[in-house]
Amino acid sequence: LGRLMRGCTTLVLAHRLSNIINCGRILVVESGRVIESGTHADLLARGGVYTRLMQLQIGQAAAQGATTCFGGFSSDSAEPVEDTPTNRTHPLDEDGEQIGWQKTIASLLRLVRPWQARLGLVAACGIARVYAFAGLSLLAALTVGAVKMGRPAILPLIALACAAPVAAVLHWLESWLAHDMAYALLAKMRIALFDKLDQLAPAYLLRRRSGDLMALATHDVETIEYFFAHTVAPAFVSILVPASVLALLAWTAWPLAAALTPFLAYAALMPFRDRRRVDGLGSKAREALGEMTAHFTETLQGLSDLIAFDAMPERKSGFSILARRSESARFALMADLAKQSAALDTATGLGALTVAVVGAELAARASLASTILPLLVVASTAAFVPIYEIAQIGRRLADTIASARRLQAIHDAVPSVSDGPAVPFVPLTGASLRFDNVSFTYPGRQIPALSNVSFDVPAGATVGVIGPSGAGKSSIANLLLRFWDPQRGRILLNTVDVRELSLDGLRRCIAVVAQETHLFNDTLAANLRLAKPDATDLELIQALENAALGDLISNLPHGLSTTLGERGAWLSGGQRQRVSIARAFLKNAPILILDEATSHLDSLNEHRVRSALEKLAKNRTTIVIAHRLSTVRYADIIIVLDAGRVVEEGCHNDLLARQGAYARLISYQGLAVARQGHD
């Protein structure tokens, strides 16, 4: 940072005073107001708030033989996942390009199987509707014929007046029954997707873009509506109606059936021809849409960084490219389908015409009664209606299959961890923990995050884990929570392998204060109740007090029921971290993991929170992960990690006496104290 600041006007926002000692001017802000201003020396001389904060930090440093600043280890708040290209989405694998359409359709059909009776009803309505429409045309023809010949047209008119509402009601009923079923199925699919994502989290989800997953749960599921509401039952109709028309023609005069068959066959096979090509076009269009959605979501998530770095123009041009790609993919699909639909119209027209011509010829030779010819022509046209409809759906079927395939790919993904049978029995006083020769490499990485890590924590003890950024500290927590399973070695909780425990049970007995806390755009109370759904307001307030957030409630406009904004944007980084600590207090679990739990706090609050955490950690098995030595100094066991290996282990005094890595770290941070004093 020193190098970065050279020659720049720099604003340093810090709660760690060591970072600002050398600044030309220091402003002390409290409750939104500048209360002191001047150089370090000025402010010290004044003996005000700044001096108090300073004394507190120096006091801590002196008392603990380590300072909170200029440490050799820096906070690793950067998400390690995001900067590793190997972990980026692999759209080809993930979108299930290799899942065949037969398998996809079969999986959809499996979903509708319980609805057989309903499907039969929909198909019956569909068939009746097509015939009712054909009947309408016929009645209309009869009416016109009667009027033309000067005969009373009252009877056909009455029939027409009765038949029209019947056709309408049948159409309405068919549509209503089909959609009622389709949306019930969509809801079921969305819930199944939710459950599956729960199983896959977080290992699989880190490899996917959240915008793309969102497109999956919204667009893609919605697309499948076409399949359920407009494809399954109409498919039956589109077979039964043409078949019955052909039978009628064959029964009256077989040459008519022979004349119509080629056209019907051409139309009926149309949706199946070029299936593979249209399918490919559909998949491409779907993927392009997913990518565009993902890009948009990520833009929204990173908006403040994008604006601060003036990177919106590039981001926008990236978006334009994706938008245009989506447009052209969809255009290619639609152009293809438009051609199909034109061909279909032609087939319908020519088919009816051929039947009329052949029929007229037959009538001329008196081998067909001329009065039923209009009926036969109308019936021939009606035969195309359901085929036409199914071909329309064919356009969307490409889309539907692409979407179903993307969903299927998620359902086929194997969770990285599987549930065990046993319910852990862990008394509130803590459990013994043991890492036994654990080695673990994140999927897609070559270098192991942990190699041959072994350590023992007796029930109720506190273990401190320290080491530089990227040493594998957080990975220990990830493995204990079974976000992943190690490739080698075992993790034992009260002598039981954690793989034998139920995931819910295991996670219920561990409270985590993680490096990064997610707060939902919900009330403060709801965000806290994540840890304990039935907590009373009093308990919430107590937890906030413990986390040194007691005064937050009075500062928020609606107290506990204040909404915290997107990802808790209404709170400062330090406040968010303390909400996470308050959650840990509420959860009151026998095992506690503190991952850099106080890294975002200023010295006053850190002091308060730390003593509260010490209270919480009492009689509990606790893992304290820290890069600052002062935090772990009083742990029963200290483990020094470097590049995934345990390089030292013991209590503070033992490790100091050993004169190894730990002692070197201490002296380095001690040096920092000296340097700070010098400044």
Residue ranges binding Mg ion (CB under 5 A): 473-474
88 in contact with ligand ADP (CB under 6 A): no
Structure tokens at 498: 């954690």
Sign, CA dihedral 32-35-41-45, equals: negative
Residue 81 binds what, of Mg ion, ligand ADP, none (CB under 5 to 8 Å, by partner type)? Answer: ligand ADP
Q: Which of 18, 381, 475, 575 binds ligand ADP (CB under 6 A)?
A: 475
Residue 88 or 445 having the CB closest to ligand ADP: 445
Q: Are 513 and 580 in contact (CB under 8 A)?
A: yes
Q: How far is the CB of 500 from ligand ADP (least distance, A)?
A: 24
445 in contact with ligand ADP (CB under 6 A): yes
- Segment interacting with ligand ADP, rule: CB under 6 A, options 76-84, 290-298, 393-401, 403-411: 76-84
Q: Which of 408, 474, 494, 669 binds ligand ADP (CB under 6 A)?
A: 474
| C-alpha span between 123 and 233 (Å, rounded) | 5
Residue with tokens 């990285």: 416
How many CB atoms are located within 10 Å of the residue 190 CB? 16
- Segment interacting with ligand ADP, rule: CB under 6 A, options 397-405, 470-478, 530-538, 651-659: 470-478
| Residue type present at position 212 | D
How many CB atoms are located within 10 Å of the residue 678 CB? 6
| Local structure of residue 370 (DSSP, 8 states) | G
Nearest alpha carbon to residue 469 among 599, 630, 604: 599
| C-alpha span between 11 and 26 (Å, rounded) | 10
Q: How far is the CB of 28 from Mg ion (least distance, A)?
A: 31
Q: How far is the CB of 474 from Mg ion (least distance, A)?
A: 3
Reduced 3-state DSSP string for 402-469 = HHHHHHHHHHHCCCCCCCCCECCCCCCCCCCEEEEEEEECCCCCCCCCEEEEEEEECCCCEEEEECCC
| C-alpha span between 215 and 212 (Å, rounded) | 5
* Residues listed for the chain: 679
| C-alpha span between 373 and 543 (Å, rounded) | 86
Question: How would you classify residue 509: left for phi > 0, otherwise alpha for psi between -120 and 50, otherwise beta?
Answer: alpha
Residue 358 or 594 having the CB closest to ligand ADP: 594
* Strand ranges (E), 243-364: none
Q: What is the distance, to the nearest Å, from the Cα of residue 278 to the centroid of all Cα atoms in its chain? A: 28
Q: How far is the CB of 641 from Mg ion (least distance, A)?
A: 10
Residue 469 binds what, of ligand ADP, Mg ion, none (CB under 5 to 8 Å, by partner type)? Answer: ligand ADP
What is residue 68's three-state secondary structure? coil
Q: How far is the CB of 52 from Mg ion (least distance, A)?
A: 31
Q: How far is the CB of 623 from ligand ADP (least distance, A)?
A: 12
Residue 344 or 471 having the CB closest to ligand ADP: 471
Q: Which of 290, 359, 472, 590 binds ligand ADP (CB under 6 A)?
A: 472
Q: Which of 473, 482, 600, 620 binds ligand ADP (CB under 6 A)?
A: 473
612 in contact with ligand ADP (CB under 6 A): no
Q: How far is the CB of 206 from ligand ADP (least distance, A)?
A: 5
Q: Which of 76, 419, 456, 500 binds ligand ADP (CB under 6 A)?
A: 76
Could you tell me the CA-to-CA distances from 545 to 291, 298, 303, 468, 556 in Å, in that order?
45, 35, 33, 32, 15
Structure tokens at 595: 């991952």
269 in contact with ligand ADP (CB under 6 A): no
Structure tokens at 266: 């051409």
- Segment interacting with ligand ADP, rule: CB under 6 A, options 59-67, 152-160, 190-198, 462-470: 462-470
Q: How far is the CB of 626 from Mg ion (least distance, A)?
A: 10
Write phi, then psi, for 12 (nearest 5 degrees). Answer: -110, 120
Residue 445 binds what, of Mg ion, ligand ADP, none (CB under 5 to 8 Å, by partner type)? Answer: ligand ADP
Q: How far is the CB of 659 from ligand ADP (least distance, A)?
A: 24
588 in contact with ligand ADP (CB under 6 A): no
Q: How far is the CB of 595 from Mg ion (least distance, A)?
A: 6
Residue 454 or 542 having the CB closest to ligand ADP: 454
Q: How far is the CB of 468 from ligand ADP (least distance, A)?
A: 7
User: Which run of H or E residues covers position 104?
Assistant: helix 101-112
Q: Which of 14, 29, 62, 81 binds ligand ADP (CB under 6 A)?
A: 81
Q: Which of 108, 167, 206, 582 binds ligand ADP (CB under 6 A)?
A: 206
Please report the DSSP string for 18-62 in residue order. GGTTT-S-EEEEETTEEEEEE-HHHHHHHTSHHHHHHHHHHHHHH
442 in contact with ligand ADP (CB under 6 A): yes
Q: How far is the CB of 473 from ligand ADP (least distance, A)?
A: 3
Binding residue count for ligand ADP, defined by CB under 6 A = 17
Asked if the peptide bond before residue 156 counts as cis, ω within 30 degrees of 0, the response is no
- Segment interacting with ligand ADP, rule: CB under 6 A, options 129-137, 155-163, 469-477, 552-560: 469-477
Nearest alpha carbon to residue 324 among 297, 300, 289: 289
Q: Which of 65, 80, 559, 650 binds ligand ADP (CB under 6 A)?
A: 80
204 in contact with ligand ADP (CB under 6 A): no
471 in contact with ligand ADP (CB under 6 A): yes
Q: How far is the CB of 214 from ligand ADP (least distance, A)?
A: 20
Reduced 3-state DSSP string for 215-272 = HHHHHHHHHCHHHHHHCHHHHHHHHHHHHHHHHHHHHHCHHHHHHHHHHHHHHHHCCC
- Segment interacting with ligand ADP, rule: CB under 6 A, options 77-85, 486-494, 554-562, 610-618: 77-85
- Segment interacting with ligand ADP, rule: CB under 6 A, options 75-83, 138-146, 371-379, 556-564: 75-83
Q: Are 155 and 163 in contact (CB under 8 A)?
A: no
Binding site for ligand ADP (CB under 6 A): 76, 80-81, 84, 87, 206, 442, 445, 449, 467, 469-475
